[in-house]
Structure 1
Amino acid sequence: MAATPDLPQVPQPVARVVLDVPLAHLDRPFEYAVPAELAPAAVPGTRVKVRFAGKDVSGFVIARTDVPEHTGKLTRLRRVVSPEPVLTPAVLAAARTIADHYAGSLADVLRLAVPPRHAGAEKALDAKDAPHRQRPTVGKSVAWQRYPAGDAFLHRVATGDAPAASWLAAPTVDPVLDWPAALAEAAHAALAGDRGALIVVPDHRDLDRLEAAVVGELGDGQHVRLTAEQGPQARYTAWLKVLRGHVRCVIGTRAAAWAPVRDLGLLACWDDGDDLLAEPRSPYPQTREVLRVRAVRERAALLLGGFARSVPVQAWLESGAVRDVSTRTSPANVPRVVVAGDEREVERAGAAAHSHLPPVAWSTAHAALADGPVLVQVPRRGYLPTLRCGQCRQVARCPECHGPLGLPAPTAPATCRWCAREATPWRCPDCYATSLRAAVIGARRTAEELGRAFPGTPVIRSGAGEVLGSVGAQPRLVIATPGAEPVAETGYAATLLLDAWALLDRAALDAGEETVRRWLAAAALTRAASDGGAVVICGAAPGVTLAPVEAVARWAPATFAERELAARRELDLPPAAWMTLLTGELADLEAFAAATRHAVHDDVPLETLGPMPAPGGQPGTALLLRTSRDHADAAARAVSAARAIRSARKLPGTVTVRVEPSGAYL
């Protein structure tokens, strides 16, 4: 079709551009004329500079057309930043779906999906010849032999099928059978089928273990590592290698979920319930959902693994969206789990059975230290992170901001954990007492106590600021906070899970789910019962049957996920219901909720819950919007419309919107 007289005389003279502008009412493509000198380079997917509202604005060309929809004169593109088509159609489509799902803007999602350009990386990679990529042959799996459906899953991946699976990994201290080896074999199957593989893990320590397994399975040079912690040039270089097809296997943390892998055949995620896989920037997408959307759109296999199963994955399992590829675990193949404080121990030890380190934990650790290292998981970092009044036992709070007081060191004064002010002198506002006592024992104080309880035994710590990746097989005590447990060379001889109540008593919807996930992750580093491995849970409420404690004691994460989902269905809580968390000033929240109700259809019941204090000690107020899961898409569109109205009217104040917030925010 011939171009109109007002447009440049070039093929497809109209460029549709998505602007890097986060304003909700501008979340749509804009049309620009393509000058003749820019026509060859301004292909879909390239970065461009355009004039918008009197300023130079960055954007992406998403399409070229012959005839504009706009009836007036079009502004011309200013320049093409790089001829590299960095935004692929598959990533663009997934980004649009995620933006709609989380009631966000496409610009915000693209900022997460496409890393910033680094000109030096482009030039350096242009100067190199593309490496010869070898297609591996189908190999015999080893790690998947323990799972009845393992070979069938790998076969479907290798033959171009797109199975979606939930995988409960069986614990082992043998690296040939452990989860990194299983994920590496799954990637091998995808590459053997001439397709790509993308594997996401929560943190760099998991990534180091996975990378060692991938190199052992595929060899050197067959994958790239992609994380947000890489320098700009290293990250962009790795990303370009994937974009250009130099490699087709990507491993990384949350940032790797958007990697533009060609002919994607497998998307895998380890420990999808980890909060590190929830994006902290708007629109706050969860990596699990990003991978699911990409798997559906690109007809790729999806594998969601872990020692525990998240409740959202359990909902997908019951709906048929994913299938189970797990196996039954024999009691001999998992560590023996003991719950301290039962009736028999109380009869023997009296009140000491409920102490910070009960006799059964001490005796288990003492016997295990003769054969290897002992892991001690402490749920709080620091020295004494929480203090109480010594007389009335109320939580001690800062007189300035009312934040909780803690003791950072043995000789340090009580300090507020929010504003860092020293609370000296301190007086209880309820009983006027001035004495303080410990409410929670931190990792540093625990290390001191255990050093005295086990004289002559080396004590090392792994936590914030000093996270260890691994430890040797020598007898020692390893004190770690949840998520920072190092891997022992031959597995831990025993594991102590201290202060169980501190995890179970968290005021969050996912307290039980998170507790099971953290405990099983630590217990999985322990030797099996057949090799003498034992786990002791200390500090659980005596005389009460707690579902998380029972799930770990029986090693039954699937049963726990089923019961947790059933309970949430009864209470109409996520993921059984759709929910959005709004935080800000109360007047702004009420206006936003009213705009959302006005935008939603009459047949969509939208319930408002609150107001309530903002979660996590944040300033401001919170409101919850809730509807049934069947009306989730309509409700998300209504929230998007309310954001657009607020943005267009330039209303003062800030309303933060989290669609489907994680349990930590509820």
Structure 2
Amino acid sequence: MPTPAETTPVTTTPGLVARVAIDSPLPQLDHLFDYRIPAELAETAVPGVRVMVPFRSATRLSRGYIVEVGPKADGFDGTLSPLDSVVSPVPVLTPELWSLARRLADRAAGSATDILRLAIPPRQVRVEKAWLVERQVASTAPDGDEVPDTEAGTPDFEAASAPALAALPTVSDYPESLTDAVDARGRVALAAIPTVVDVGGAWVGRWAVTIAELSARVVATGASVIVASPDYRDQDQLQAALERILPPEQVTRVDARQSNAERYRSFLDCLTDQPRVIIGNRSAVYAPATHLGLIVVWDDGDPLHSEPLSPYVHARDAALVRQEESGAALVFAGHTRSADVQRLVEIGWVSAIGPTRVYTPRVMVTANSDATEAGAAAARIPSMAWRQAREALEKGPVLVQVARPGYAPVIACARCSQAARCTVCSGPLGIPRAHALPACTLCGAIAGTWSCDNCEGTKLRLVTRGTGRTAEELGRAFPGVRVVVSDGERPIVGVSGSPALVIATRGAEPVANGGYAAVLLLDGDRMLAAESLRIAEDCLRWWSNAAALTAPGAPVVLTGVSGTLATALATWNQPAFASAELADRRVLRFPPAVRVASVTGDDAAVRGAVEAVTSIVPADVLGPVPTGDGVRTILRLDYGKAQAAARELRAAVVKNATTRRKPPAGKAVYRQAPTLKVRFDDPEILS
């Protein structure tokens, strides 16, 4: 327990104790600490508020949140330190959020406060004061204008009458089982319709309209909705669709692109009782939505849903746990289905629902790259793709998807084909722009006098063409046609419906007014060459999302790919491909058929943690293998055993963090950093 404050005695409220979660990255502090509540703080020291508390000494203060207020624990006769101060009167940590953070942290062998840092934005004093004033004014408004009662119960979907539900916004093009599942707070894997629509001057994917209609239906019952999507492009489309059917005050955006002040204001608005739709990226899953009625995760297979910060909880997993905690409906929507959601469908945890009639883009596959026509040869595309593009440019824009940004990201020796390397740092060479000298993509050193260390050749050839080089080649192949480039450096959200060549990297494709007249999917073979367990699944998702941007009946040409992957795209049967992928991974015991934990650190710590797990649960042990700072061992666990393994691994992390180590010579006062790291469901494992 924290030591008593070494100051003048403070008057306290008898029997009241605040249980505080300390905001600290240290794993050994990941539990609640008891503090006395001084009498002067009795009214403001309520669950959820930010506080400052003494820790280890009266002069050393730490930040934290009050989780509970209650009587002193039975059997404890010691003296508790008092709270130092209440930082803010706003209870930003709701009971639901704390329960969610605790459960997710335990599942991932991490700390609950690490999740709270992702969920609760840093405090902005001016924003908070202005928000409190607005709330005070609203609470004293004349009758009929007051804000909803904060003690109101959760809306009862099941008790809603049939006429009331019939008056709610409907979801066209889908069977009644979809709205029935949402009304009954079920779990759904939703197949999105691959087309674009006009929502009052803005063109968006049909998926955005579907989610907006579902959200409006739930908001009409007095409940809130959370929609997590990969990036701002998807959020822009969803916001445009929502603004058509909901007033602006009922749509709140919690976006990583917002300033700190904007993000905190949005967070505070979510604390009110007004039903709203909350849209954002992966951290939106933690938004403090009151009376949560629906959670939607769009395109859950996108790597942007994977949290890179400890404890590395994927938005899909956070949504699943929150759905269980809140009882809200849950929808995983996408043009493709991830193997993870397919597993949930096959075990009966999630129901698969598609549109009432089949919407299939017109996909054509050309496995070879033969260019027999002059224009096709100049554009490095198959003749069929060149002809389709030429015809489509008479009607509207044509989308060309490529693998890499830049001009020529990868080059090689023209004689022996060995990859060109920098003579300074051995990094890969590339050509940054037209007519530029080769340069290292790591250190930037110019390689003007490069020669191959294998054959001593001095001529280079392009291995991979980026957006810049592709735009140059297509511009020559289609003279007089406007060329637009969209990638990470030049992001474009939308283009007009006039003829143009739109060169985009995967995930950066803008939406065209009226849809694209044709889509060319280049570099498919290069995309598939990446070393990753999920590369086939990712490629199908990239291509499907691009194909969904076409106008009705427009051609989609996939080049350089054949086999089951090309067939899945051509027949628009992505669930069957996900099922086959999952079956293969079950045989190999790869994720998501099993849960995987990586344990990294010094050899003794890793060995001890692995032995602790395998002594209580069966696990496949892979390794150890050397890493830059020790060794790494991988544990493959069945889902039913993973929770027990997470407890043991977390205990090993805490033990490792609190173990004293012998300091190096000459450093009497020295505390070595913990040497044990655990990560569940690491997307980089087995890639």
Instruction: Calculate the TM-score normalised by the size of structure 1.
Output: 0.90
Query: Is the CA contact 1:599–1:641 (under 8 Å) kept in the aligned structure 2?
Result: no
Structure 1 segment 496-535 matched on structure 2, within 5 A = 496-529=520-553, 533-535=554-556
Instruction: Name the structure 2 match of 1:295.
Output: 323
Matched, 1:144 2:171: yes
Matched, 1:642 2:652: yes
User: How far 1:347 moved relative to its partner?
Assistant: 11
Structure 1 segment 593-632 matched on structure 2, within 5 A = 593-600=606-613, 602-610=615-623, 622-632=632-642
Match of 2:683 among 658, 662, 665: 662
Q: 1:142 to 1:522 in 2, by over 3 A?
A: farther
Instruction: Name the structure 1 match of 2:110.
Output: 104
Q: Secondary structure at the match of 1:199?
A: strand
Distance in 1 between the 2:622 and 2:518 partners? Answer: 45
Q: Secondary structure at the match of 2:654?
A: helix
Give the letter aligned to residue 537 of structure 2.
E
Deviations 1:338-361 (A, max 9, x none): 11245xx969779x8998311111
Match of 2:96 among 90, 103, 127: 90
Q: Secondary structure at the match of 1:658?
A: strand
User: How far 1:143 moved relative to its partner?
Assistant: 7.4
Q: Secondary structure at the match of 1:537?
A: strand
Query: Is the CA contact 1:462–1:481 (under 8 Å) kept in the aligned structure 2?
Result: yes
Q: Secondary structure at the match of 1:127?
A: helix
Structure 1 segment 270-419 matched on structure 2, within 5 A = 270-327=298-355, 330=358, 333-341=359-367, 356-419=380-443
Query: Is the CA contact 1:168–1:306 (under 8 Å) kept in the aligned structure 2?
Result: yes
Instruction: Name the structure 1 match of 2:67.
Output: 62
TM-align CA RMSD: 2.8
User: How far 1:434 moved relative to its partner?
Assistant: 3.2
Q: 1:186 to 1:613 in 2, by over 3 A?
A: farther
Q: Secondary structure at the match of 1:483?
A: coil
Uncovered stretches (5+) of structure 2, i.e. residues with no partner: 1-8, 139-144, 149-154, 200-204, 660-670
Query: Is the CA contact 2:363–2:556 (under 8 Å) kept in the aligned structure 1?
Result: yes
Deviations 1:95-140 (A, max 9, x none): 1111111111111111111111111112111222447679997566
Q: 1:427 to 1:628 in 2, by over 3 A?
A: farther
Instruction: Name the structure 2 match of 1:47.
Output: 50
Uncovered stretches (5+) of structure 1, i.e. residues with no partner: 1-5
Worse-matched range after superposition: 621-630 or 438-447: 621-630
Worse-matched range after superposition: 364-373 or 211-220: 211-220
Q: 1:444 to 1:595 in 2, by over 3 A?
A: same
Distance in 2 between the 1:589 and 1:479 partners? Answer: 47
Structure 1 segment 134-173 matched on structure 2, within 5 A = 138=165, 144-148=171-175, 151-158=176-183, 161-173=184-196
Distance in 2 between the 1:608 and 1:355 partners? Answer: 50
Worse-matched range after superposition: 653-662 or 590-599: 653-662
Distance in 2 between the 1:443 and 1:505 partners? Answer: 19
Give the letter aligned to residue 117 of structure 2.
R
Query: Is the CA contact 1:608–1:626 (under 8 Å) kept in the aligned structure 2?
Result: yes
Q: 1:429 to 1:283 in 2, by over 3 A?
A: farther
Worse-matched range after superposition: 373-382 or 624-633: 624-633
User: How far 1:369 moved relative to its partner?
Assistant: 0.4
Deviations 1:402-436 (A, max 9, x none): 33222111233322323333344334333333332
User: How far 1:31 moved relative to its partner?
Assistant: 1.3
Distance in 1 between the 2:322 and 2:288 partners? Answer: 10
Query: Is the CA contact 2:305–2:314 (under 8 Å) kept in the aligned structure 1?
Result: yes
Instruction: Name the structure 1 match of 2:453.
Output: 429
Distance in 2 between the 1:71 and 1:430 partners? Answer: 77
Query: Is the CA contact 1:495–1:535 (under 8 Å) kept in the aligned structure 2?
Result: yes
Distance in 1 between the 2:522 and 2:370 partners? Answer: 17
User: How far 1:601 moved relative to its partner?
Assistant: 5.2
Worse-matched range after superposition: 199-208 or 480-489: 199-208
Query: Is the CA contact 1:12–1:64 (under 8 Å) kept in the aligned structure 2?
Result: no
Matched, 1:269 2:297: yes
Worse-matched range after superposition: 321-330 or 564-573: 321-330
Give the letter aligned to residue 600 of structure 1.
V
Q: 1:431 to 1:604 in 2, by over 3 A?
A: farther
User: How far 1:460 moved relative to its partner?
Assistant: 0.5
User: How far 1:579 moved relative to its partner?
Assistant: 0.8
User: How far 1:178 moved relative to its partner?
Assistant: 0.9
Q: 1:524 to 1:612 in 2, by over 3 A?
A: farther
User: How far 1:311 moved relative to its partner?
Assistant: 0.9
Instruction: Name the structure 1 match of 2:32.
Output: 29
Q: 1:359 to 1:12 in 2, by over 3 A?
A: farther
Give the letter aligned to residue 340 of structure 1.
T
Query: Is the CA contact 2:379–2:473 (under 8 Å) kept in the aligned structure 1?
Result: no
Q: 1:92 to 1:437 in 2, by over 3 A?
A: same
Give the letter aligned to residue 27 of structure 1.
D
Distance in 1 between the 2:15 and 2:274 partners? Answer: 31
Query: Is the CA contact 1:201–1:254 (under 8 Å) kept in the aligned structure 2?
Result: yes
Worse-matched range after superposition: 128-137 or 378-387: 128-137
Q: 1:291 to 1:225 in 2, by over 3 A?
A: same
User: How far 1:464 moved relative to its partner?
Assistant: 1.0
Instruction: Name the structure 2 match of 1:18.
Output: 21
How many residue pairs get matched?
639
User: How far 1:78 moved relative to its partner?
Assistant: 0.9
Matched, 1:466 2:476: no
Give the letter aligned to residue 81 of structure 1.
V
Distance in 1 between the 2:602 and 2:418 partners? Answer: 32
User: How far 1:267 moved relative to its partner?
Assistant: 0.5
Distance in 2 between the 1:665 and 1:116 partners? Answer: 36
Instruction: Name the structure 2 match of 1:78.
Output: 84
Worse-matched range after superposition: 429-438 or 564-573: 429-438
Give the letter aligned to residue 53 of structure 2.
V
Deviations 1:450-485 (A, max 9, x none): 000000000011111221111111010000001110
Q: 1:619 to 1:651 in 2, by over 3 A?
A: closer
Instruction: Calculate the TM-score normalised by the size of structure 2.
Output: 0.87
Q: Secondary structure at the match of 2:682?
A: coil
Match of 1:493 among 517, 523, 528: 517
Give the letter aligned to residue 86 of structure 1.
V
Distance in 2 between the 1:464 and 1:620 partners? Answer: 35
User: How far 1:253 moved relative to its partner?
Assistant: 1.7
Distance in 2 between the 1:406 and 1:328 partners? Answer: 49
Deviations 1:566-598 (A, max 9, x none): 111011000111112345xxxx35334212223
Instruction: Name the structure 2 match of 1:3.
Output: none
Query: Is the CA contact 1:370–1:475 (under 8 Å) kept in the aligned structure 2?
Result: yes
Instruction: Name the structure 2 match of 1:557.
Output: 574
Deviations 1:172-198 (A, max 9, x none): 222468111111111112112221111
Distance in 2 between the 1:190 and 1:535 partners? Answer: 36
Match of 2:217 among 189, 194, 209: 189
Q: 1:249 to 1:490 in 2, by over 3 A?
A: same
User: How far 1:389 moved relative to its partner?
Assistant: 2.2
Give the letter aligned to residue 15 of structure 1.
A
Q: Sequence identity of aligned pairs in percent?
A: 39
Worse-matched range after superposition: 300-309 or 599-608: 599-608
Q: Secondary structure at the match of 2:244?
A: helix
Distance in 2 between the 1:267 and 1:601 partners? Answer: 36
